[in-house]
């Protein structure tokens, strides 16, 4: 049994397409949801069998395939975030952040903040522990001196 990331229903593995690059060897979305997404992308001219040839076409295709967003949706998100990372206010290397459990877009983050969030596996408890560590770690210029370390 597996839970579909799109509809949230628990279904037998036979209701999921084979996907060799995933750990469980099955797609994240069930066959019904995959078929609905396939039909929606085909209506927009974004079908997988119609390869995108330009960077703009690839970007438009990936926006819809990954997040279900159009270019207008992306521009609205960027505008709402004032074209800055919603975590650090950087305006460089911006991208859409999404919830890995649901696939839903959350907002705009720079590459560094999005990578940090991913490395922490989107775990709030881990992030709070890291903040606590940073606030309590000694700020001595020579940490090895505190440990009475002497090189051999």
Domains of the chain (ranges plus CATH)?
1-43 (no CATH), 47-144 (3.40.1800.10)
Strand partners for 30: 16
Report the SS3 class of residue 7.
coil
Neighbouring residues of 14: CB distance < 8 A, sequence distance ≥ 6: none
Residues in the chain: 152
The whole-model pTM stands at 0.56
Record the tokens describing residue 70, joined without a space: 């159009």
pLDDT in tens, the chain (152 residues): 999 988 999 999 899 998 888 888 899 999 999 888 877 766 655 555 555 567 888 888 888 888 888 888 999 999 999 999 999 999 999 999 988 888 888 999 999 999 999 899 889 999 999 888 888 766 655 665 666 655 55
Question: Which two structure tokens, joined as six digits, stand for 145?
Answer: 């001196």
């Amino acid at each position: 049994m597996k839970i579909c990331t799109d509809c949230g229903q628990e279904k037998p593995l036979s209701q999921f397409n084979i996907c060799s690059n995933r750990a469980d060897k099955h797609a994240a979305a069930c066959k019904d949801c995959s078929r609905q997404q396939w039909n929606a992308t085909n209506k927009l001219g974004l079908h997988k069998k119609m390869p995108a040839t330009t960077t703009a076409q690839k970007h438009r295709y990936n926006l819809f395939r990954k997040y279900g967003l159009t270019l207008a949706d992306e521009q609205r998100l960027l505008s709402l975030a004032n074209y800055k990372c919603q975590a650090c206010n950087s305006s460089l290397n911006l991208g859409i952040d999404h919830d890995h459990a649901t696939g839903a877009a959350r907002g705009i983050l720079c590459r560094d903040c999005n990578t940090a969030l991913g490395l922490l596996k989107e775990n709030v408890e881990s992030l709070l522990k890291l903040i606590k560590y940073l606030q309590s770690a000694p700020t001595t210029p020579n940490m090895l001196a505190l440990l009475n370390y002497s090189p051999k």
